[in-house]
Amino acid sequence: MQAARCPTDELSLTNCAVVSEKDLQSGQHVTVKTTPNHKFVFTVKTHHTVSPGSIAFSLPQRKWAGLSIGQEVEVANYNFDKSKQCIGAMTIEIDFLQKKSTDSSPYDSDKMAAEFIQQFNNQAFSVTQQLVFSFCDKLFGLMVKDIEAMDASILRGETASGKKQKIDIGLMVGNSQVIFEKAESSSLTLVGKAKTKEARQTIINPEWNFEKMGIGGLDKEFSSIFRRAFASRVFPPDIVEQMGCKHVKGIMLFGPPGCGKTLMARQIGKMLNAREPKVVNGPEILNKYVGESEANIRKLFADAEEEQKRLGANSGLHIIIFDELDAICKQRGTGASSTGVHDTVVNQLLSKIDGVEQLNNILVIGMTNRPDLIDDALMRPGRFEVKMEISLPDEKGRVQILTIHTNKMRSFNLLAPDVDIKELAAETKNYSGAELEGLVRAAQSTAMNRHIKATSTVEVDMERAEKLQVTRSDFMGSLNNDIKPAFGTNQEDYSNYIMNGIIKWGDPVTHVLDDGELLIQQTKNSDRTPLVAVLLEGPPHCGKTALAAKIAEDSQFPFIKICSPEKMIGYSEIAKCQAIKKVFDDACKSQLSCVVVDDIERLLDYVPIGPRFSNLVLQALLVLLKRAPPKGRKLLIIGTTSRKDVLQEMEMLDAFSTTIHIPNISTGEQLVDALEVFTHTPILTFADGLFLLSTECSISLPLLSPFFYCLQMDQEYRVTKFLSLLRDEGA
């Protein structure tokens, strides 16, 4: 027969070869042999305009079979073996036939599949076949990608055997399954279950491993981010669409410096099968020229916008990471300058993440140490929806981090057997991930320093260097001398207050320390009272600060800070409030914290002449003393004052849950005990002791020194001097 052009456009859409009714009948299947090695199977349709001896093909059919008009072809009948050649499932690649007729409307692939089976029922299809399909008044170009034969047991009315067999040529039947796949570069948007069949590439990189990536102690945070940010991206898109679920577009990571925010954001990019993340530091966005800062934001999102327009739902995930987000996204309307640059940058970012033309192929990760500075509009759902605190690692987390940083040394046998990672983790309370890494580096440098010869030239002792090992003593030395945690206990801070120890001159001192121990246990163990505040009050120089420091030391809490007036000399009222607030904010970042607020009346700038005090600092203290720590955190506050009456008038005593009175030495017996503890020897004669035991007095601790010096004098003068000192103390 001779190849001809299809007579009408309607016949072109039937996917049939058109013949004269004198040659063949409608519905027959034929093989068309173009060359000795090339055969193509078509279903035929008759039409009166086709002359006998001719067979007409549409343009897609001619392109597929490589036919030209007037070409001689060999045509023969073709019979399908319905037990093996019925189509069970057919995957078809689809795109708009003409690029100029593209639109962004979603097309329901389920309805499309039903229409396809209705139009092309009982027709022959071959792998790689091309055809035109009309749906919703739009023309689509199709290409058959894959055909699976129908299970023969189903045709016999039996239960499916589950065997799948690929075939090259098949017959479309009423219960065949049609799956549409969008062409790679197509902008077509498909919805519905029949839009994909292939196993989806998982969004999580299969080679992902937390420890290899150098992340430790963040298991809980990662699982929470997975649940919120990636669950919708891991599920098949059709299920997500049926739920009406939108992907999370923004994650905000905040917390103390050095806890792994930047590391975590960097590794999220590696963990996902996504485009290379764009990492941008907040200050880099800002530009001195008008409009350039906003243009920089637009450039970050340009690739994602272009890909979404081109590929629609098939677009890959674009990750944009903002480090130091607070530099560009401060609260609008708070800038001191009149330019309003920050405000317009925030507006531009808001419109890009979740504006009128919203993108669905982005994940924006913001990081900051100051979440309180970020504009509220950025924090609502739809923008930075997932807010995750990356806090200080717990003991299990510290074990993971130290293991990661010592793995290489262990593999090359450079870590001594006496190094116990669990012991180090227990000793490094409130150390951040960066500080733990610094600790390992400090221990390494200590170990290397042992093998350096300090002669006229500095050189390495190569003989001993080959036996280099980092030992437990290297770690302990670095722990005590080199690396101190920013949110930990600065021992020098409170050891100055108790350098001479606590002189237990009587029951009052013992009772205070016992009460302090009870308050420590209450803070540690009670879930009902996460905040415990105690006020130590008494006359000047009775030892309040020393006892507060002793109680804080005995608590063994990982965070201990003393808020002292001596550190705030010359501060303005606002600066003083901010310094006090920072101490309390830092305390809330630790699991167990103790804050000593020393000499409260000095913090308040109180003087009896006037009287004058700082109301701003008073109000700040009243708020902070009553502010409960976040859930899961415990805080013990110890205040000291010599003017309980003043705090009573300021209504500050109500902020403390309990008040403990600390007296001066009030009897001769207590004075004798104090002097004996002070000098470590029994020093008083019988006559002096008898005289002192009958004496009522009020002696502050600094006066123990003059009493002690009296004891160096001769007997007669000593008694006279004692009497004089006691008289001065109002005995």
At which residue do the structure tokens 């700038």 appear?
A: 605
Which pLDDT score is estimated for 313? 63
Report which of residues 178 and 355 the model is more confident about: 178
Which pLDDT score is estimated for 452? 77
- How does residue 665 score in pLDDT terms, banded at 50, 70 and 90? confident
**Distance (Å, rounded) from C-alpha 352 to C-alpha 354?**
6
**Distance (Å, rounded) from C-alpha 248 to C-alpha 246?**
7
DSSP 80-104: --TTT-BEEEEEEEEEESSGGG---
Which pLDDT score is estimated for 659? 93
Using an 8 Å Cβ cutoff, are 593 and 629 in contact?
yes
Most confident of 338-347, 413-422, 697-706: 413-422
List 76's β-bridge partners, or say none: 31
- State the DSSP code for 151: P
**Residue 707: pLDDT above 70?**
no
Tokens at residue 389, please?
């605190």
Which pLDDT score is estimated for 282? 72
**Distance (Å, rounded) from C-alpha 209 to C-alpha 271?**
8
User: Which distant-in-sequence residues (6+ apart) come within 8 Å of 455 by Cβ?
Assistant: none
Q: What is the mean pLDDT of residues 210-239?
A: 70
**Distance (Å, rounded) from C-alpha 337 to C-alpha 347?**
17
Could you give the C-alpha distances from 556 to 477, 497, 518, 585, 597, in angstroms and in order? 20, 17, 14, 20, 18
Report which of residues 243 and 625 the model is more confident about: 625
∠ Cα 71 77 79 (to 5°): 140
Using an 8 Å Cβ cutoff, are 494 and 596 in contact?
yes
Cα distance from N-terminal residue to C-terminal residue, the chain: 135
Q: What is the mean pLDDT of residues 685-699?
A: 55
Tokens at residue 90, please?
């057919």
**Residue 546: pLDDT above 50?**
yes
Q: What is the mean pLDDT of residues 21-50?
A: 89
Which pLDDT score is estimated for 618? 93
Percent of the chain with pLDDT over 70: 81
Average pLDDT, the chain: 81
**Distance (Å, rounded) from C-alpha 431 to C-alpha 257?**
11
Report which of residues 209 and 257 the model is more confident about: 257
- How does residue 617 score in pLDDT terms, banded at 50, 70 and 90? very high
Please give, one letter per residue, the 3-state secondary structure of 431-464. CCHHHHHHHHHHHHHHHHHCCEEECCCEEECHHH
Instruction: Locate the DSSP E strands across 592-710.
Output: 592-597, 634-641, 658-661, 665-667, 696-699
**Distance (Å, rounded) from C-alpha 491 to C-alpha 552?**
11
Between 289-303, 422-436, 489-503, 694-708, the lowest mean confidence (pLDDT) is in 694-708
Using an 8 Å Cβ cutoff, are 138 and 96 in contact?
yes
Question: Which residues in 518-533 are b (16+ Cβ under 10 Å) and which e?
Answer: ebbebbeeeeeebbbb
**Residue 326: pLDDT above 50?**
yes
Q: What is the mean pLDDT of residues 39-45?
A: 91
Angle between helices 292-311 and 341-354 (to 10 degrees): 10
At which residue do the structure tokens 């170990």 appear?
A: 447
